[in-house]
Chains A and B, each alone.
Chain A
Amino acid sequence: MTISYLTKDYEIVRDEKRCIKCQVCARQCANHVHGYDEQYDEMTSDGGACVACQRCVTLCPTGALRVQRSTTHFRDNCNWTAGVQSSIVKQAETGGVLLSGMGTDRPHPIYWDRIVLNASQVTNPSIDPLREPMELRTYLGRKPDRLELDERDGRLRLKTALDPQLKLELPVMFSAMSFGSISFNACLSLARAAKAAGTFCNTGEGGLHKDLYEYGPSTIVQVASGRFGVTPQYLMAGAAIEIKIGQGAKPGIGGHLPGEKVTRTISETRMIPMGTDAISPAPHHDIYSIEDLRLLIYALKEATNYTKPVSVKIAAVHNVAAIASGAVRAGADIVAIDGIRGGTGAAPTVIRDNVGIPIELALASVDSRLREEGIRNQASLVAAGGIRNSADIVKAIALGADAVYIATSALIAMGCHVCQKCYTGRCNWGIATQDPNLVRRLNPDIGTRRLTNLLRAWSLEIKELMGGMGVNAVESLRGNRAHLRGMGLTDTELRILGIEPAGA
């Protein structure tokens, strides 16, 4: 092939009156968009490689830079848009599967935005969270069917033995992101922030770096199909264990960390040779049925002496309610459901954009199904995949979640601008990269502070929203769908969500 038929996606606009040729842009762009021509003493910009990550725009000390969509205009066509054409051209030139990072960018419906919350007026008092206690603490894990009490010497004692629980100071956890897909500094920021906020981060499938074992009590350790870095010490280090069956961004397929990202520390953590591809199979090859899942759940419980709750993470797919029910019956203490808008470090674009169902519908149907079957108390539900703000969290809890997982929001807090190029390993923000030149760009002190701030801000907002509804505890909000109303939804959607339309 002589020339590429691809046109550039973005253009750099440099305000020549403001540019001082300090070359910060050139030094910061890992895609080599910016350069400096010594002969002509001028800055150069090649927008062709620009991914619109905004690193140069943010660091330019004079505000001289702007990234804009390419002004090259394709002939207008609602079917054969520029994006559709570009995809075809890329595949015609490479013969390969198109990859993407982060969650889908397709305009799938976001039901959170079609659901509104209630507030107290006259007949039931609202609560001012600044003046009255507001309980965000949540416990995740299997709850007993009934409590048996023993009365001795006029005092009541609990006879029922409780299963191990995770204690969350707010109903938000950091979702699974592996060391490998993100940098050590990003993992460290998440671990420190989780510890500071009284919640949990999740190792993803990449094992736990030896320097992060001290954050084990604030960590959920994941066991995925590749079994990377899984040892008895690893299982014991975490506060809980999560079996990853699926991921919202790529249900039904495994993972692939390219060999060039498998550096010395990653090879040690994952326990694979340096420079080899880390391939997670699509299924767990020892789990082909609910019965097999039960074997693994109990193997993990046995290995940790029944001291840690075991979570099963599944992607939201068509029969999610039945699958979740099976997972609970197989012994899962927590079921995490990841919706179609969930993120990833790398996934085939066609899978990311077309496979799975929205988390709102999945969550509502799973919660309803578990209640109908009388087993809702046997497991906690964690909703994941596209949780963007505190209102989404409150709505998720009212739909039936015990807590939510956030990952993209956490990455954005650390500097991510959702350029979707995680899979290239050239993250200009030092997050999705192992390049020693780039990882240092995320100062873990700053990352921790920004994440802690985000959780604090959301806690305050959740309390405000709950107070308005006259609810003073997450426990009272969970599954309380009377607090939700749908706007512009069909009768079928309302039925699945289990909510009334606005006005009813």
Chain B
Amino acid sequence: MKRIYAKEEVCIGCKLCEVHCITQHSRSKKIIKAFREEQGRPLPRLFVEECGPLSFAVQCRHCDDAQCVAACITGAMQKDDATGAVVHDADKCVGCWMCIMVCPAGAIRRNAAQGRIASKCDLCGGEGTPVCVANCPNEALVYEDRGD
């Protein structure tokens, strides 16, 4: 399946991926409105990790054998067989955080502001290029099928 891959050698740590992720998951999907007006701004669903000059964006790997799906007590975390994406149903999530405990990539966060639900990359719905990839100014994020 197509996944997002980070090229850490050209990640510049600007965090524009986070900015555009927040915008994409806001109600208006308009950057200035999302940041300046909307209450309960969503969390970014990917996170730039930094250590000295090295940085890269971490996001859900949509694992083939997704441990978060196995650990989810309510069935909120599901593997979409058609696309291969691990999708999260906020309505079913009860905030037990088992997914966070088992995620090997540390790619799931608690979204306390929006009612204690888990927050993770949804590949922007799976249609087209995710906004983090499309807006990375240095092409440090790519969206491609590497057959793994």
Contact = CB atoms under 8 A, between A and B. Distances in A.
Interface of A: 17-18, 20-24, 27-28, 58-59, 61-62, 435-437, 440-441, 443, 445-446
B53 A436 contact: yes
A440 B10 contact: yes
Contacts of A59: 14, 16, 137
A440 B32 contact: no
Nearest to A441: B12
Q: Which DSSP category, helix, strand, loop or mixed, fits chain A's interface?
A: loop
Interface in B98-130: none
Given A22-B35, A443-B139, 12 more contacts: A20-B32, A27-B13, A28-B12, A28-B14, A59-B14, A59-B16, A61-B16, A61-B20, A62-B32, A440-B10, A445-B139, A446-B138
Contacts of B60: none
13 contacts: A20-B19, A20-B32, A20-B35, A22-B16, A28-B12, A61-B19, A61-B20, A61-B135, A435-B53, A440-B11, A440-B138, A443-B7, A446-B139
A41 B4 CA distance: 32
A430 B31 CA distance: 27
B36 interface: yes
A77 to B, nearest CB: 42
B140 interface: yes
Nearest to B55: A440
Interface in B62-101: none
B145 interface: no
B15 interface: yes
Interface centre among A20, A23, A445 (most CB of B within 10 A): A20
B112 to A, nearest CB: 19
B16 A24 contact: yes
Given A441-B138, A443-B10, A24 B36 contact: no
A443 B11 CA distance: 9
Nearest to B14: A24
Interface residues of B, number: 23
A28 B13 CA distance: 8
B148 interface: no
A27 B50 CA distance: 12
Contacts of B10: 440-441, 443, 445
B81 to A, nearest CB: 34
A436 B9 CA distance: 10
A22 B137 contact: no
Contact of B19 (A22, A436, A437): A22
List 10 A-B pairs, minimum CB-CB distance, nearest first: A20-B35, A436-B53, A443-B10, A437-B53, A22-B19, A443-B138, A441-B12, A24-B14, A440-B10, A443-B139
A27 B14 CA distance: 6
Given A22-B35, A61-B31, A62-B32, A440 B19 contact: no
B32 A18 contact: yes
Contacts of B20: 61
A23 B12 CA distance: 13
Nearest to A25: B14
A58 B16 CA distance: 12
A285 B139 CA distance: 47
B123 to A, nearest CB: 21
A372 B110 CA distance: 81
Nearest to A439: B53
B52 to A, nearest CB: 8
A443 B140 contact: yes
A59 B135 CA distance: 10
Contacts of B138: 440-441, 443, 446
Nearest to A436: B53
A437 B53 CA distance: 5
B12 A440 contact: yes
B15 A23 contact: yes
